[in-house]
Amino acid sequence: MADRMSLIVFSGTVDKLMAASILTTGAAAMGMEVELFLTTWGLEAFRKDAYKTNTRVSADFQDYASPMMEAMQAKHVPSWMENLLGAREIGDVKVFACSMTMELFGIKHEDLEPIVDEVTGVATFVERAKESAITLFI
């Protein structure tokens, strides 16, 4: 068993990306390796500069969207992207993009934020997640 957390980031809404980024930070701080596998809407959210204008939240909490974004701005809460960059600074964080989503949405590696390390298939991710102490689907 590897001292590693594997996250499947499927959702592209700010509330869930925030949760993923904070979990990543916590795990990195506690010395765990972290691997993120970005797929579907989660990958869309990593298009270059997309995080700067993304204000979507989960549909079942749509009514909280603007108060949440306003509170985050007023309290200077770092964005989920800043959290991920901070986590990478202190720990071992790798970000993989799902090749199938790339193909489906016509996304190229250079269209993505520089934090994305490489494009992989699901089998590679699962093979590594199999050994991870924690695996979560967000």
Contact set with another protein (CB under 8 A): 22, 25-26, 29-31, 75-78, 83, 86, 89-90
Q: How far is CA 4 from CA 74, 92, 97, in A?
A: 34, 9, 18
Nearer to another protein, 7 or 129 (CB): 7
CB of 25 to another protein, least distance (A): 5
CB of 135 to another protein, least distance (A): 21
Nearer to another protein, 26 or 138 (CB): 26
Are the beta carbons of 14 and 57 closer than 8 angstroms? yes
Nearer to another protein, 84 or 129 (CB): 84
CB of 101 to another protein, least distance (A): 28
CB of 89 to another protein, least distance (A): 8
Nearer to another protein, 29 or 126 (CB): 29
Q: Which residues contact 107 (CB under 8 A, 6 or more apart)?
A: 43, 47, 97, 101
Nearest of 47, 45, 54, 33 to residue 9 by alpha carbon: 45
The phi, psi pair for 63, rounded to 5°, reads -65, -15
The phi, psi pair for 86, rounded to 5°, reads -65, -40
